[in-house]
Structure 1
């Protein structure tokens, strides 16, 4: 048995005017609760340090840099790292990253119990749009403020297992899980900030959005025999509602724990990484069952035609 008691630390709304210090204090309070529950790992959401700022349009792109961290730990987040180190707590959280050479990414990190950053992932599947769109119910300007991630989907050996990360919209794409599944991933941690209404499809409300969220996470977990820890930022941020839906999903694709509120909340479950073994050695044994040459034959038989080059 390789059991890790995981705390999925959902954050309630973060208002535009709320300071980094106030948010970090909330994160530390959740960490203290997780420590009291005997959890060695805590997972926070995407863009955990700020409001979901891509809903706000800055005509001058540089004005958005105030939402970004130029270093990590930053002065504002150092207390979080100090608390984690003092408690012997590993953690993962998302933030807006500005690199020393001026690139901007939607980033998540994995930090070990000694406070060392052991993994970094940059969001690849950026949703939304670049310019202000008056036809939308709300703006979703991730493509304006972020560049697509350039680190791929690596995995890391830590905490006695094989861990991977992804962020929000990545969870909807099967190749996200498969890239890590082919590397033997045993637990994927992901944070998300998902509006409860689609800005381009008003009829797709909260119920359907939660359905698609759960469908994506459960399928990814089952088809790659991995645990998935999906952690929301939720609630009303300055009049813009984010859905909850924090989940812990086991390697059989079953939801074993989920949030009950849209506020700061811990969702806790003892996850045995050995529960991934059966699926990886039977139905999803990629080495035995994925014969690459067969895919080539199928492509030829169905007559796939590639588009002409530009």
Structure 2
């Protein structure tokens, strides 16, 4: 027996600072309609989909900073996306900057079911970049200034006929992001990213940007027996080039669909969630093979040894 979830990875091309949310949502609705024409059950949009990647600027005006955040979801600007999802009977995942009623700020993703109801929320935990102004950089990466570390951990939700999880961008580089969800029997991880090609502190990494992106997603999928849907906002945005490579990756670690452009593009794949079972029951049967107590003892023993020299 198969449990097929047809997924549309809705890659977004560059969003410039002058683009309004209304314009961006119109593009998203077009991708959603295209996904519906392919009978998709789920559309996955990137990290911080609704605006340009604003952490690349040092801003001191709180009014200017706050203009990039969403105070409610859905909002007047995003309502057309929710309305169209309900009309089409399609679920979606969306990344955005969240400003809570208490004044807290997070890099957030939500999971929305086919009735346009929010059924899951995740707040990014592994914030990259820096918190202070570093004018030597070609562009800033100020996520540590504009966001708090996420406080919701990595949840897994029963939705869309499967166990769904979410992570955001830099989370994908850290194995614990996948493993915490893997321990909750996750079957599909939805992952949006905005990744610049150039890494100012380590420019020697630039040539490997796409390779490293694929490496961590494919390894995370295989090592946890889960589907991974990685979706980029890409292209040249305000002079900063961001990588694409939006991919749908099977629990085997194989890429079964990938974007070919740096523009708005939909990648579609029929994903059998039951394909996860073989990996979870055999080579990555955590209950049978994983030894967390042994790891803990090693760490404790090493921590008890005084440093030499």
Distance in 2 (alpha carbons) for counterparts of 1:307 and 1:136: 39
* Map 1:85-100 → 2, pairs under 5 A: 85-100=86-101
- In structure 2, the residue matched to 1:253 is 253
Match of 2:8, SS? strand
Contact 1:161 1:186 in 2 (8 A): yes
Q: 1:68-107, CA deviations, whole angstroms, 9 ceiling, x for partnerless residues?
A: 0000001100000000000001000100000001000000
Contact 1:137 1:200 in 2 (8 A): no
Match of 1:23, SS? helix
- Indicate whether 1:25 and 2:23 are aligned: no
**Shift, 1:56, TM fit:** 1.3
Contact 1:7 1:43 in 2 (8 A): yes
CA RMSD of superposed structures (Å):
1.5
Change (3 A) 1:147 1:285: same
Distance in 1 (alpha carbons) for counterparts of 2:151 and 2:305: 25
Change (3 A) 1:291 1:84: same
- In structure 1, the residue matched to 2:53 is 52
* Map 1:79-158 → 2, pairs under 5 A: 79-158=80-159
Distance in 1 (alpha carbons) for counterparts of 2:145 and 2:65: 10
**Shift, 1:296, TM fit:** 3.6
Change (3 A) 1:294 1:215: same
Match of 1:295, SS? helix
- In structure 2, the residue matched to 1:226 is 226
Q: 1:93-149, CA deviations, whole angstroms, 9 ceiling, x for partnerless residues?
A: 100000001000000000000000000000000011112102222100111110000
**Shift, 1:249, TM fit:** 0.6
Between stretches 207-216 and 44-53, larger displacement belongs to 207-216
**Shift, 1:216, TM fit:** 0.6
Distance in 2 (alpha carbons) for counterparts of 1:73 and 1:283: 42
Change (3 A) 1:295 1:47: same
**Shift, 1:59, TM fit:** 1.9
Distance in 1 (alpha carbons) for counterparts of 2:280 and 2:259: 28
Match of 2:9, SS? strand
**Shift, 1:294, TM fit:** 2.3
Distance in 2 (alpha carbons) for counterparts of 1:142 and 1:277: 37
Contact 1:61 1:145 in 2 (8 A): no
Distance in 2 (alpha carbons) for counterparts of 1:26 and 1:297: 52
